Amino acid sequence: MADEPLGAAVDPTIPPHQKITFNVTVRAVAAVAATAQRLGVSKTDVLNRAAILYDKVTEMEAQGGIIHVQMPGGSTYRLMLV
C-alpha cells in the first residue's frame, strides 16, 4: 500500500466521475485558485488531489502515524490536520 500512488486503490463500484456541489469559505476558494495557478492545473484537479490527500493523511493518523515536513533549510514541522 505504501508504494501505491495516491488514489490508486479505488472502489470499482463507484462511477469514475461524479458531479457534486458543496459550500466553501472565501479562504478555501482563494486557496484553491492560488494553488491551481501556481501548479498550472485546474481547480477541479486541486480539489481532487486535496480530497485524496486528506483521505490518506487521516487514514495514516488513525493508524498512529505522524507526518513531518522538512524545509530546504533543514527545519522540520509536524503536519496536523484539525
What is the rounded CA–CA span in Å between residue 47 and residue 50? Answer: 5
**How far are the Cα atoms of 37, 46, 47, 82 from residue 43, in angstroms, in the given order?**
9, 5, 6, 23
17 vs 64 pLDDT, higher one: 64
Query: What is the domain partition of the chain in residue ranges?
Result: 1-82
Q: What is the full DSSP assignment across 34-59?
A: HHHHHHT--HHHHHHHHHHHHHHHHH
pLDDT score for 46: 97
pLDDT, tens digit, 9 for 90 and up, residues 5-56: 555 566 788 787 888 898 999 999 999 999 999 999 999 999 999 999 999 9
68 forms beta bridges with 78
Q: Is the pLDDT of residue 1 over 50?
A: no
Which has more confidence, 73 or 5?
Answer: 73
pLDDT at 7: 52
